[in-house]
Amino acid sequence: MFDFSIITSWVHGLLTSWMPEGLAIFLECVIVGVCLLLMYAVIAIVMIFMERKVCAAFQCRLGPMRVGPWGTVQVFCDVIKMLTKEIITIRHSDRFLYNLAPYIVILASVLAFACLPVSRGLEILDFNVGVFFLMAASSIGVVGILLAGWSSNNKYSLIGAMRSGAQMISYELSIGLSILTIVVLTDTMQFSEIVERQADGWFLFKGHLPALIAFVIYLIAGNAEVNRGPFDLPEAESELTAGYHTEYSGMHFGLFYVAEFVNLFIISGVAATIFLGGWMPLHISGWEGFNTVMDYIPGFVWFFAKAFFVVWLLMWIKWTFPRLRIDQILTLEWKYLVPIGLVNLLLMVIVVVFKLHF
């Protein structure tokens, strides 16, 4: 398995041989930041294209077909269009918060995105409380959404923001519980470590029943966390026209839009990392030949394949189910998912204490 830290340490060595260490680290941070944002944008474009194609397939349509082969250039055109559009300022809005809100949302999203280990040695933010940091960073997003709804001075936006607040804060709990279940199994919060421990089998298989329950809860709660159907109440277009981002235009709207798609990827990426082994290839103990062949496939291919598989699952759900109502969403969370999650956590503790896992 190729280790990317060879490249990164080579770059580091090269830079320090030319300049003082402080400057080299600063330069490296800048390079990493640029790469991160570039990857963020590329992922967003791929996600948007995928969404349009997947949804078209479910709806007996073709999706974008005209611009480029199979419509592949369509999304780039849309991005350029979005960039050139005017950002309309709204009268009687809270100007400062109104302009700040999309950046808070995108900031939370980028911070969470930086936590994902893409391949061996290719992780940006990786320290001993990584899981904790990811959850903390991703929950800043709801602040941006609440601010957007409040500062727009629009009643629809406000209702959308309130719904979003109620929903995202509730479902954070279930996400936390299901991730905690896996943390109990691994006894580490560091993402690279979590992935390493899955070398002899993914946690979804190693943790069997409690891990499976946690995975299902995580998918449901994760879907709700990123405000996608059937949990897309905050922006239910048939009820609130567009919810919290009704009044946003141009790239400010674009930031919400991109953040929503990358958040979906982050949710899927985290699912892939903690349940499906991240960049770790599929290993079956005893099948040495099989394992060696699997190791030839690079880690980032494994990671993206797993993440996009989960994305596809979530898109399938979105394009099939009707939308829930606000009271049903909260009932689902507080009366079903949280109690099940708590019991499941206990179950995992028992499994770990009595060494019932594989």
Residue 134: HSE in the Cβ half-sphere, 13 Å Cα cutoff: 29
Q: Compare residues 262 and 324 and give the one whose CB is closer to another protein.
A: 324
x-or-dash string of contact with another protein, 136-165, rule CB under 8 A: -------------------xx--x---x--
14-22, 255-263, 321-329, 335-343 -> range binding another protein (CB under 8 A): 321-329
Which single residue is written with the structure tokens 């690079």?
298
Interacting residues with another protein between 241 and 280 (CB under 8 A): 241
Choose which of 18, 69, 296, 327 interacts with another protein (CB under 8 A): 327
Which single residue is written with the structure tokens 């996600």?
47
Residue 63, interface with another protein (CB under 8 A)?
no
Choose which of 9, 89, 285, 320 interacts with another protein (CB under 8 A): 320
Instruction: Identify the CA nearest to 263 among candidates 291, 232, 286.
Output: 232
Amino acid identity, residue 197? R
> What DSSP assignment string belongs to 110-157?
HHHHTT---BTTB-SS--TTHHHHHHHHHTTHHHHHHHHHHHTT-HHH
Give the helix/strand (H/E) hosting 268: helix 250-275
CB of 163 to another protein, least distance (A): 8
CB of 303 to another protein, least distance (A): 29
73-81, 91-99, 145-153, 322-330 -> range binding another protein (CB under 8 A): 322-330
CA distances from residue 237 to 58, 113, 126, 234, 333 in whole angstroms, order as listed: 20, 27, 38, 9, 23
Choose which of 85, 208, 323, 357 interacts with another protein (CB under 8 A): 323
Residue 237, interface with another protein (CB under 8 A)?
yes
Q: Compare residues 61 and 95 and give the one whose CB is closer to another protein.
A: 61
Choose which of 127, 325, 343, 346 interacts with another protein (CB under 8 A): 325
10-18, 30-38, 139-147, 236-244 -> range binding another protein (CB under 8 A): 236-244
Interacting residues with another protein between 163 and 192 (CB under 8 A): 163
Interacting residues with another protein between 191 and 230 (CB under 8 A): 229-230
Rounded Cα distance between 146 and 7, Å, is: 42
Residue 88, interface with another protein (CB under 8 A)?
no
Residues in CB range of 8: below 8 A, 6 or more apart: 121, 122
CA distances from residue 292 to 47, 192, 200, 279, 288 in whole angstroms, order as listed: 31, 21, 13, 15, 6
Amino acid identity, residue 99? N
CB of 46 to another protein, least distance (A): 21
Question: What is the binding site for another protein (CB under 8 A)?
Answer: 55, 58-61, 155-156, 159, 163, 229-230, 232-233, 236-241, 319-328
